[in-house]
Structure 1
Amino acid sequence: MKLIKQLNTLDPGFSDALDALLEIQSENHQNVYPIVREIVDDVRREGDAAVLALTIKLDRLAVTSAAELEVSRERMAAALGAIDAPVRAALEASIDRVRFYHEEQKRAGGGHQDWGYTDSQGNQLGQIVRAMARVGVYVPGGKAAYPSSVIMTVIPAKVAGVREVILVVPTPDGQVSELLLAAAFLCGVDRLFTVGGAQAIAALAYGTESIPKVDKIVGPGNIYVATAKELVFGDVGIDMIAGPSEVVIVADNGVDPEWLVMDMFAQAEHDELAQAVLISKDEALLQRVIELIEMRLPGMVREEIIRRSIGDRGALILAQDDDEIAAIVNKIAPEHLELALRDADEFLPRIQHAGAIFIGNHSAEVVGDYSAGPSHVLPTSGTARFASALGVYDFQVRSSVIRCSAAGAVSLSRDAAILAAEEGLEAHARSAEFRVRG
């Protein structure tokens, strides 16, 4: 059995093979949906009692009241004081870079600042931007706790001006990541609850006696969390329905193939459904990558996960020219795209769809996960065709502003009355006509 699929754009069945590669065979959504629906309904109806019962049952926590599920700021501060100095320094450096990036993003405008103009009739028109009042952040917990996810979600919210950030994290069997608590303290999390799964999403969406209702929920989770976010959307905002993580690497022979292999492994070790795809016009490079995969995989701590991931969902694709490569990349619309090319800047304009783009040999995807600055919360499963990286704009709302002058109202209302009458809306037309008559 081959360790990884090898595709060639010249093969007659290439298009079908690529489609098959992009299909995700995950847990049956139809089986999960009724379970999540019941959990959401229970929490909405019973509040803290349901959250407590579900947390005791599913996460096996030895608690007797909902109050015990909240972690105080003092406890977070204690966790910060207990971590090793080099780890704290790395954590603080990452937070500083992520904060700086999102402050720059906010300053850049692009619809994220108030603006307006006055037309020739004296009407003032524009837009005002306001931060959401309260946001909920879901972060995976337990042994696989990810402090980086705290940084990448909470910091953009805080920079946007969100007044209160509520963080929820599962702690199965009472396992709490001290590093995660430390990150929460440094990022300015206002309240933290050791609740996970669909019950945490429902609690944030509808509120309980202890957990406040939020305006929007962000952050990654498993299929139960994703399904719950899908169910509560409309009653509350969400960032996205995230799928397995993925990377597409476009490379030429100017990059060390050892780097490429480890970049692929870094993606594959997330889980068996993660996807790592390498595309190149250089057949010798692809053959060397195959050899290195066989050499480097044995002995990796997550060897079995990587083996399953690259075997089931990974691929090496031999393309004939840049047009083919660009077409493949834009079809995949990957979460992460590495351009390990000598002429990466020349190739970049061909890319229409990618969550984050890493340009040049030295720009490993892993720096985007932890320390570069942009949020690592990115669109997956081809949704980069219409979705974007999490940013300050995800925590803001924009209101249109219309201030009519007396003279301007006459002209605008006359046109509005005519159009309203044509649409058969009598009251609309009369409302406008009153302004015309003065």
Structure 2
Amino acid sequence: MEQYKYPKSDDWEQLLKRPTASYESLEATVNEIFSEVKNKGNAAVAKYTQLFDGIELDTFQLSQKTIDAAEENVSEALKKAIQLAKENIQRFHTAQITSKITVETTQGVQCWQEKRPIQKVGLYIPGGSAPLFSTVLMLAIPATIAGCDEIVLCTPPNKQGEVEPVIVYTAALCGVTKIFTLGGIQAIAAMTFGTETIPAVYKLFGPGNQFVTVAKQMATKYGVAIDMPAGPSELLVFADDSANTDFVASDLLSQAEHGADSQVVLVTTSEAIQKQVAMAVASQLNDLPRKEIAAKAMANSKSVLVENNEQAIALINAYAPEHFILIATNEDYFLKNLHNAGSVFIGNYTPESAGDYASGTNHTLPTNGYARQYSGVHLDSFMKSMTFQKISEKGLLNIGPAIETMAAAEGLQAHKNSVTLRLKSLRNEE
């Protein structure tokens, strides 16, 4: 990690820059693949699967036989762990259900709001070197609770051209309706346009690499909604003298091992903590199976020493981390003044990994500073709010004249007439 001591606030933007490619640098590639998938369907999907994954597939959709067989290839210990995580995630997201809101805004004017599920959703589950079956839990569980009719899952093939059994098992457990062996830009394009076998969806969910992130943003140009721009993983830890430096180092490395384009940041008010964490990172890194990946991510990562808590929280809000671990004597100060973070983990015994797997909160979160304006995935991400109103004769008499006046002021005579005709009818009846 690069170490910085008391940097000026004018330098923070450059210091905390993410190691990600720009949308513009990837747009041409993504656009080309989108265009081909739109025009050629499965043939284009097969072409790019062979090109990027080195796999030639006859079919993309998993058969029911394959889905049923997956359970046999998952250990009992892992099944129990997944079940525990499922229960906690389900409990937390079920608690987010809200009832209908009804208000009589004026006598005779009844307004209410109800939530309805998005009918067709697409879940992208990263695969490759780390098949993220935990992301299946985070996306399929709230989609099922919301009542989505069609839950389509795409995930890249492994080296054998198959989907990891644990992903298949988790998907079946959580209510996914269709599973496809398909990753990358071509998967996002297929769920955007639909192909001969892959259905188009109304909203796309799930994290991915930089290409997947840009592909999701491209999908919005074709009328498909997305959960958020969720790219390479990132973590910021604030640690003062109350922190266990071994714990801090393990948290930093837990995000660094996601990928070479991940970024972790340490912010501290203690020079001793900065030094001790650096030593602990170097020591723990050597024991990691994914050492090479983590080391590349750590090269893009920062350790920042600031003068006081006020500077620290200002820097944290400026960075807007996807994950934020807070280990501080004065927790309340940071929590009161924190504005921008995807998910927050408080205290020495709250590792970010808990949120990744089993505590119950969702781990699909905004990255690259988007925590300033986006929320992480939650139950309402899979729903839409619809408003309703019913106006009685008395109600229209109460608000009708105001509507007429406003419509006339905007020069919209037909709007005015729709009320005027009704008011005349009511007055003639009196």
Instruction: Output the CA distance in 1 between the equivalents of 2:24 and 2:273.
Output: 42
Amino acid at match of 2:419: A
3-state SS of paired residue (2:95) = helix
Instruction: Output the CA distance in 2 between the equivalents of 1:143 and 1:119.
Output: 56
Instruction: Output the CA distance in 1 between the equivalents of 2:206 and 2:109.
Output: 41
Evaluate the alpha carbon distance shift between residue 429 and residue 336 of structure 1 in structure 2; reply closer, same or farther with a 3 A threshold. Answer: same
Amino acid at match of 1:5: E
Amino acid at match of 1:146: L
Q: Describe the superposition over 1:21-56 as per-residue Cα deviations: whole angstroms up to 9, x where unpaired.
A: 322343454343222212212222232333233334
Equivalence for 2:388: 401
Matched residue count: 423
Report if the CA contact (8 A) 2:205-2:227 is conserved.
yes
Matched, 1:144 2:127: no
Alignment of 1:10-409 (within 5 A): 11=7, 14-27=8-21, 29-64=23-58, 68-106=59-97, 109=98, 113-173=99-159, 174-234=161-221, 235-312=223-300, 314-409=301-396
Quote the offset at 1:386 in angstroms: 0.8
- Point out the more displaced range, 52-61 or 159-168: 52-61
Instruction: Output the CA distance in 2 between the equivalents of 1:332 and 1:26.
Output: 14
Q: Describe the superposition over 1:89-122 as per-residue Cα deviations: whole angstroms up to 9, x where unpaired.
A: 111111111111101122xx3xxx3211224421
TM-score by length of 1: 0.92
- Point out the more displaced range, 68-77 or 254-263: 68-77
Instruction: Output the CA distance in 1 between the equivalents of 2:337 and 2:22.
Output: 36
TM-score by length of 2: 0.93
Evaluate the alpha carbon distance shift between residue 156 and residue 341 of structure 1 in structure 2; reply closer, same or farther with a 3 A threshold. Answer: same
Instruction: Output the CA distance in 2 between the equivalents of 1:382 and 1:165.
Output: 29
Report if the CA contact (8 A) 1:219-1:377 is conserved.
yes
Evaluate the alpha carbon distance shift between residue 29 and residue 90 of structure 1 in structure 2; reply closer, same or farther with a 3 A threshold. Answer: same
Q: Describe the superposition over 1:33-90 as per-residue Cα deviations: whole angstroms up to 9, x where unpaired.
A: 22221221222223233323333443333334xxx21112332221112211111111
CA RMSD across the alignment: 1.8
Report if the CA contact (8 A) 1:137-1:167 is conserved.
yes
Amino acid at match of 1:7: Y
Instruction: Output the CA distance in 2 between the equivalents of 1:422 and 1:366.
Output: 58
Quote the offset at 1:200 in angstroms: 1.4
Instruction: Output the CA distance in 2 between the equivalents of 1:57 and 1:338.
Output: 39
5+ residue gaps, structure 1: none
Instruction: Output the CA distance in 2 between the equivalents of 1:419 and 1:59.
Output: 60
3-state SS of paired residue (2:350) = coil
3-state SS of paired residue (1:408) = helix
Report if the CA contact (8 A) 2:121-2:204 is conserved.
yes
Instruction: Output the CA distance in 2 between the equivalents of 1:119 and 1:148.
Output: 44
Quote the offset at 1:277 in angstroms: 1.4
3-state SS of paired residue (1:342) = coil
Instruction: Output the CA distance in 2 between the equivalents of 1:6 and 1:338.
Output: 19
Quote the offset at 1:357 in angstroms: 0.6
